[in-house]
Amino acid sequence: MRPLEGITVVTLEHAIAAPFATRQLADLGARVIKIERPGSGDFARGYDTRTRGMASHFVWTNRSKESLTLDVKHPLARGVLERLLAKADVLVQNLAPGAAARLGLSFDVLEKVYPQLILCDISGYGDNGPYTEKKAYDLLIQSESGFLSITGTPGSPCKAGNSAADIAAGMYAYSNILAALLERGKTGRGRRIEISMLEAMAEWMSYPLYYSIDDQPPPGRTGAAHATIYPYGPFKVGAGDTASTVMLGLQNEREWVVFCARVLLRPELAQDERFAGNAQRQTHREDLAAIIESVFSQLDVATLVERLDAAGIANARVNDMAAVWRHPQLAARDRWRTIDSPVGALPALLPPGMSASDEPRMDAVPALGEHTQAILVELGLDENEIRQLEREGAI
C-alpha cells in the first residue's frame, strides 16, 4: 500500500508550481483529479513540443493524474465542483490572484461546508500586501527574490536553468500538505495552507541574506564557481582543443593540505601565507587559480579525476543533458522506468526518496479531458446531465 492511497486531491492548477506539488502526492499514491479548461487545458501543455510532440514541462509535472475538463466559471460547473469537493481530502489552486475567492473557493467559505478539507493556495506574493495583485512567473520571482543578483558572471546576471522558484513553492506546498494530512488524522479538521513563491524563494536565499546582513556587500556573481569558498568550482583540464572542464570543491583545511600534496603535487603550497585559510585563498584566488590551472593543463580528465578520487577531494564532470540521460549511476541504481502518454511510452525517473518496499505510482500523462466522462459518471451524473454540460460548453 502506498502512503497516500485513499487520499483524493482536486486541483485547479496550471504552469509548474501547483502541478509539481500535486505530482509528488500522486507519486505517493494519492488520486489527483486535475481540472482543466475545456478546449485548451493547462497552458503548460503548449509550452513546447520537444517530448515527442508533448510539452516537456507538462510531461514532467503531470503523470499519474486524471484530467477533467470543466469551465469553473460556468453556472453548471458549481454542482460538479461541489460533488468533487464532497469526496476530496485536498484542494490545491494556483489561479490568478483573487480568482479562487471569486469562484467561492476561499477557505472561509469552504470550511463551513467541508470541514475536513485541506486547502492549499499557491500564489506569487501571498494574499495581502502591496504585491498581491501582481502576476508572478518563475523568472520574475527569481528576480524579485534576489536570486539573479548573485547568479551569473560579474558582467551579467543569469536565471537558473530550471524553474527554481516554481520548484521551491511546489515543494513547500507538498510538505505542508503532508503535515496537514497528519494533523487532520488527529483533529479530524482541515486547514488552509498559503504558499507564496516569493517567500519560498526568499527562504532559499537565506545564506546570501545572512552573508550580507547589516548592509554588508552581498556574495559576488562568480559564474559556476562558489562565491565565498575557494577552490570550489570549474577548472580547465588539458590544453588547446582537447581541454575539458572538471568541477571540484574543497570544504576545509584538511582537504586543502591533501589537495596540495596529492593532487597538485605541491605540498609546500599548504604553508603559503597567501592561501592559509579560506578567507586568504578567496582574497588571492587569481594567484591560486593560475597555479592550479598550470598543473591541470598538464593532465587529462581521467588522470585528474583519479587523483582527486584517491585524495578524497569532491569532484564532478560538467555533464550535458545527453550525459545525464546516460548517467552510469542512474543506470546502476535502476532509476529509470517507462510511463504511458498520449504520444506513447516515455522514460521517467523514479521520484527520490521512495521506499524499497514498494514502487511509486507512475501512471500515464493524461490527454486533455481523458477522464471527464468517467469522473462525471462516478459523481452520479446521468447521461442527460452530461449531455447538457457538453451542449453548454461547461466540459
Residues 201 and 344 in one domain: yes
- 225 φ, ψ to 5°? -80, 155
- 246 φ, ψ to 5°? -125, 140
Assign 12 to helix, strand or coil.
strand
* Residue 34, pLDDT above cutoff 80: yes
Residues 164 and 278 in one domain: no
| Boundary-marking domain end, from 317, 348, 383 | 317
Q: List alpha helices for 259-357, DSSP H.
A: 278-283, 285-296, 301-311, 321-325, 328-332
Cβ contact 339:364 at 8 Å: yes
R_g of the chain computed on alpha carbons: 26
Residue 375 placed within a domain = yes
In this prediction, residue 51 has a pLDDT band, given cuts at 50, 70 and 90, of very high
Tell me which DSSP letter residue 243 carries.
Answer: -
Question: Domain with 51 in it: what CATH number?
Answer: 3.40.50.10540
Average of per-residue pLDDT values in the chain:
95
Residue 218 placed within a domain = no
Residues 200 and 274 in one domain: no
* Residue 72, pLDDT above cutoff 90: yes
Domain assignment of residue 260, given as a range: 232-317
Residues 143 and 253 in one domain: no
Residues 34 and 171 in one domain: yes
Residues 345 and 249 in one domain: no
Tell me which DSSP letter residue 160 carries.
Answer: -
Look at residues 355, 352, 389, 391 and name the one whose alpha carbon lies nearest to residue 373: 389
In this prediction, residue 357 has a pLDDT band, given cuts at 50, 70 and 90, of confident
Residue 325 placed within a domain = no
Residue 223 placed within a domain = no
Domain count, the chain: 2
In this prediction, residue 141 has a pLDDT band, given cuts at 50, 70 and 90, of very high
Cβ contact 314:254 at 8 Å: no
Average pLDDT, stretch 18-39?
A: 97
Encode pLDDT of 90-103 as tens digits. 999 999 988 999 99
Residues 164 and 313 in one domain: no
Residue 211 placed within a domain = no
Residue 364 placed within a domain = yes
In DSSP terms, which residues pair with 245 in a beta bridge? 236
Encode pLDDT of 371-391 as tens digits. 999 999 999 999 999 999 999
Distances (CA, A) of 321 to 45, 47, 126, 318, 324: 22, 19, 35, 10, 5
Distances (CA, A) of 123 to 37, 51, 120, 200: 19, 28, 10, 11
Residue 264 placed within a domain = yes
Average pLDDT, stretch 24-46?
A: 97
Rounded CA-CA distance 301/116 in Å is 58
Label the pairing between strands 232-237 and 244-249: antiparallel
C-alpha cell at 120: 492549499
Rounded CA-CA distance 219/226 in Å is 9
Question: Domain with 273 in it: what CATH number?
Answer: 3.30.1540.10
Tell me which DSSP letter residue 341 carries.
Answer: -
Task: Output 328 or 243, whichever has higher pLDDT.
Answer: 328
Work out the burial of residue 268: count CB atoms within 10 Å of its CB; fewer than 13 is exposed, 13-18 middle, 19 or more buried.
exposed
Sign of CA dihedral 216, 218, 219, 220: negative
Q: What is the pLDDT of residue 227?
A: 87
In this prediction, residue 241 has a pLDDT band, given cuts at 50, 70 and 90, of confident
Q: What is the pLDDT of residue 355?
A: 73
Distances (CA, A) of 127 to 46, 97, 106, 123, 132: 28, 8, 11, 8, 6
Residues 269 and 374 in one domain: no
Rounded CA-CA distance 65/68 in Å is 10
pTM for the full model? 0.91
Residues 194 and 241 in one domain: no
Residues 13 and 93 in one domain: yes
